[in-house]
Amino acid sequence: MFRALTPAALVAVLLAACGPASAEAGDEPVRYDGWRVIEVVLNTPEDLAKMLSVSQAFLASEPALGTQPWVVAPEKLEELARSGLVHRVVHEDFQELLDREQSWLRVRGDGWYENYATYEQINDRIDTIVAQRPDLATKFYIGDSIEGRAVYGLTITSAVGVDKPALLFNGTQHAREWISPMTVMYIADELVAGYDTDAEIRALLDEVVFYIIPVVNPDGYIYSWDSDRMWRKNRRYNGGGKWGVDPNRNWATGWGGPGSSGSPGSSTYRGTAPFSEPETANLRDFILAHDDIVAHIDFHSHAQLILYPFGYDEILPPEPDLTLYEQLSAGLKASIFDVHGATYIAQTAHALYLAGGIMTDWVYDQAQIYSWTIELRPDSADFYGFVLPPDGIILTGEENFEAIKFLAQFLTQPLVIRFPDGRPTLVPEDQATTVAVTIAESGGEFDPNSPRLLWRIGASGPFTATALTPLGANDYEATLPAAPCGTQLQYYFQAETTEQVVVNSPLHAPSTFHVADVGITIYFEDDMESDQGWTVGAPDDDATNGIWNRMDPEGTEYRRKQVQPEDDHSDNGTSCWVTDGRAGSSAYSYNVDDGKTTLTSPMLDLDGSEDPVLSYWRWYHNNAVLHQPDDAFQVDISNDGGASWVNVETSGPEGVLTDGLWYHREFRIADFVTPTAQVKIRVVVSDDGESSLVECALDEVCVFEAGCSGPACPGDLNADGVIDLQDLAQLLGNYGTTSGATYEMGDLDGDADVDLTDLATLLAVYGTTCP
């Protein structure tokens, strides 16, 4: 019986049968031709033992009970059938999936985060970031890997502030988890890019130091690119044809314990001693040499988990740490969820499975640093596993960036002010805008009556305070006031602890603040609650099932995955367009089959627009492990009333996540067609067979641009639609101001003072109502 335990170790299985344990320089890469990807149900330890005798190539990092993804060699299929284990084949050829990934890699676009990056490309990116912003980013070196490759990191912080607390993020202890270096690089990039434009990020870099080490196991990472995509460990030669130590079993806390292996061929091989590997020893030394580090995240994939100590035993951190871990883990989870609706489960590491010698346990236990293991996308029911389609890179980066901002704020402030729906940067004129606000306690006790919005129209003058409307729990609604077109709303938020400690968002308000430009021209807006003239069908539509209709969708699920949404996207009403929103008796009842179904918008008159933006929310679910070439979701645009079409986005046939979540998409129309009076958009969904479950939905379509929709209403200082005594009084109250005056104060000609010219303008329209 082979003692090797994980997919990487299936090469050890092959060793006995047909070849070398591991591809070496000059060898052919390891191939998985004809290996079936299966989902198997394991109810008892006996089931698990049976399955392990069929194949050691499970796709989870540890063999576990439950519904499990597995890979089985073709010659073992008969044995699998004989075993009586309940299973289904989800893909016929694992190698094909790996080959597809290779083809995705070849179509790398302009954007650095459009596809996975090699070790060299990551190092180049580190150098580029440092070259572009030497004031914010510096490079460090923690030592060499066992094959002599340098491990580099980035320090990201501003020159403001001294003795700042630091956060450490690392990726790629495990070689095949390619989303992990991309995610930490995304965090690095966003921190640097946001310093000049986002007051919240600026405050973070003024308050906190970030250490980011994207590839702590470079040899393994390169090996997973060049030789065996499923390689997990480092590249130590253990003798006897066995390679690699699992870095995440090589740390000292609980070293040698359960969930780690003493067999050099195992993919959870712990090594000969704690820190026997240069990769872990160097990382340990870096941490010990930096006593500014207060929190750490070790990024892995996959399964969407937020794990905190302990992992080596069924024990919990003592109080008050446990409470803090629970609060913080809940905040990380909520921050991630708010971005794209992805669910990451927060739990102790041992609740997943016991594993001795993991980094997170050591960092917490020995270095007294709050530490997490985050398992990134996809979720545990997904068969892409480590082969996450590349459009998942930015989505994963975006949601985890919110999480680390929350973490940094939590550790530096007694309360954290969060915005679950984001903060507006562009608002309609003369119309109030609401903002959802949530307060989390991060050490302080929150005074629920304290939260307020402070705002002003224009760049000077005092801020006006308005209380937030409580919505229950720690949720509130803030209302940004109506403001005239062309102005700028400047605003910040405050909340207090019961001990009157005031926390601002952004942190250093009012010397920095959030801004929203006022003025949106809306050309088309549809939350799908009424019929605005969309049409279903095209001459060559041939789908036999799942035809577009507008309704309140009925949610469907299939094998732990949401297939059709239960709810539309907009807050208002319940309807959206959906490819037959009925649930039926099974998820297959009303999904798209055998062809395509087309939904076309009414004619949109964009005449006179300058740079309109098309925005919508869409849902696309397709459970094919690899899309059939004709399976696609596509959005097209026309500027000749539908005579000709230009593609805006296509999901599928491959390289795209189709995981059944509402995603917001936004495009500049001029990037595709010249805006005319005859613009239409259409959404085409196709499924070339019946085998895959295809569901699509569309909601909140909007075409808009920044700018004023009509002539501004000069003189209406309080934006209530009439120019009356209140406006006059407002102007007269500020009359004679020589600098820093705002529109609202009476500066109608925008020269920052309130003088006779302004008064004359107001008197000329006095008593009128706005158009």
Are 136 and 158 in contact by the 8 Å Cβ rule? The answer is yes
As measured in angstroms, the least distance from the Cβ of 170 to Zn ion is 11
Q: What is the DSSP letter of 273?
A: S
- Kind and range of the H or E element at 67? strand 66-72
Q: Does 307 bind ligand 0X9 (CB under 6 A)?
A: yes
Residue nearer to Zn ion on the CB measure, 174 or 202: 174
Q: Which residues, 6 or more positions from 313, have their beta carbon under 8 angstroms from its beta carbon?
A: 254, 257, 350, 354
Distance between CA atoms of residues 694 and 654, nearest Å: 14
User: If contact means CB under 5 to 8 A according to the sort of partner, which of ligand 0X9, Zn ion, none does residue 151 touch?
Assistant: none
User: 402 touches which of ligand 0X9, Zn ion, none (CB within 5 to 8 A by kind)?
Assistant: none
Beta strands 680-687 and 632-638 are antiparallel
Residue 286 Cβ vs ligand 0X9, minimum distance, rounded to whole Å: 20
CB of 221 to Zn ion, least distance (A): 12
499 is catalytic: no
SS (H, E, C) 520-559: EEEEEEECCCCCCCCEECCCCCCCCECCEEEECCCCEEEC
Which of ligand 0X9, Zn ion, none has residue 687 at its interface (CB below 5 to 8 Å by kind)?
none
Q: Smallest distance, Å, CB 113 to ligand 0X9?
A: 21
Copy the structure tokens of residue 186. 């995304």
CA distances from 244 to 17, 151, 155, 265, 304 (A): 20, 18, 29, 8, 26
**Residue 376 CB, nearest distance to Zn ion (Å)?**
10
Of the candidates 239, 255, 349, the one whose C-alpha atom is nearest the C-alpha of residue 300 is 349
User: Do residues 350 and 314 touch, judged by C-beta distance below 8 A?
Assistant: yes
Nearer to ligand 0X9, 61 or 145 (CB): 61
| Positions in 333-372 near ligand 0X9 (CB under 6 A) | 349-350, 352-355, 358
Of 349 and 369, which CB lies nearer to ligand 0X9 in the complex structure?
A: 349
| Residue number with CB closer to Zn ion (5 or 136) | 5
CA distance linking residue 522 with residue 677, whole number of Å: 14
Q: Where are the beta strands (DSSP E) in 264-406?
A: 293-303, 305-308, 345-348, 370-379
Contacts to Zn ion from residues 280-309, by CB under 5 A? 300
Residue closer to ligand 0X9 (CB basis): 253 or 504: 253
Which residue lies nearer to ligand 0X9 by CB, 70 or 645?
Answer: 70
- Cis bond upstream, residue 310 (ω within 30): yes
Q: How far is the CB of 378 from ligand 0X9 (least distance, A)?
A: 12
- Between residue 48 and residue 77, which ones bind ligand 0X9 under the rule CB under 6 A? 61
Q: Which is nearer to ligand 0X9, 370 or 446 (CB)?
A: 370
Which of ligand 0X9, Zn ion, none sits in contact with 192, Cβ below 5 to 8 A by type? none
For residue 62, the minimal CB distance to ligand 0X9 (Å) is 6
Q: Which of 248, 261, 562, 575 binds ligand 0X9 (CB under 6 A)?
A: 248
Burial of 242 (0-12, 13-18, 19+ CB in 10 A): buried
Residue 250 interacts with ligand 0X9 (CB under 6 A): yes or no: no
When CB distances are held under 5 to 8 angstroms depending on the partner's kind, the choice from Zn ion, ligand 0X9, none that residue 87 binds is: none
Q: Which does 373 bind (CB under 5 to 8 A by kind): ligand 0X9, Zn ion, none?
A: ligand 0X9
Q: Looking at beta carbons, which residue is closest to ligand 0X9?
A: 311
The smaller minimum CB distance to Zn ion, of residues 12 and 307, is found at 307
Binding mask 456-495 for ligand 0X9 (x = CB under 6 A): ----------------------------------------
Q: Tell me the closest approach of the beta carbon of residue 280 to ligand 0X9, in angstroms.
A: 12
Alpha-carbon gap, residue 751 to 757, rounded angstroms: 10
Annotate each residue in 2-21 with x if it binds ligand 0X9 (CB under 6 A) or - if it does not, as one string.
--------------------
Eight-state DSSP code of residue 157: -
Residue 238 backbone dihedrals phi, psi, to 5 degrees: -95, 0
Among 217, 227, 304, 373, binds ligand 0X9 (CB under 6 A): 373
Helix spans in 708-753 (H): 725-734
Tell me the C-alpha distance between 666 and 616, whole Å.
Answer: 7
Query: How many angstroms separate the first and last alpha carbons of the chain?
Result: 84
With CB under 5 A as the contact rule, the residue among 174, 284, 377, 550 that binds Zn ion is 174
Q: Please, what is the angle between helix 725-734 and helix 756-765, to 10°? A: 180
Residue 356 CB, shortest distance to ligand 0X9, in Å, is 8
Pick out residues in 171-200 that bind ligand 0X9 (CB under 6 A).
174, 177
* φ, ψ for residue 495, nearest 5 deg: -140, 155
Closer to ligand 0X9 by Cβ: residue 178 or 616: 178
Q: Which residues pair with 683 in a beta bridge?
A: 599, 635
CB nearer to ligand 0X9: pick between 310 and 662: 310
Contacting range for Zn ion; rule: CB under 5 A; set: 136-144, 170-178, 387-395, 572-580: 170-178
Is there binding between residue 618 and Zn ion (CB under 5 A)? no
Point out the catalytic residue in the list 177, 200, 279, 375.
Answer: 375
> Which residue matches tokens 């959030």?
514
Residue among 274, 273, 280 nearest 234 (CA): 280
Shortest separation between residue 317's beta carbon and ligand 0X9, angstroms: 14
Instruction: Tell me the torsion sign for CA atoms 403, 559, 229, 688.
Output: negative
Rounded Cα–Cα distance for residues 358 and 284 (Å): 12
Residues at the interface with Zn ion (CB under 5 A): 174, 177, 300
Residues at the interface with ligand 0X9 (CB under 6 A): 61, 174, 177, 248, 300, 307, 311, 349-350, 352-355, 358, 373, 375
Catalytic residue numbers?
375
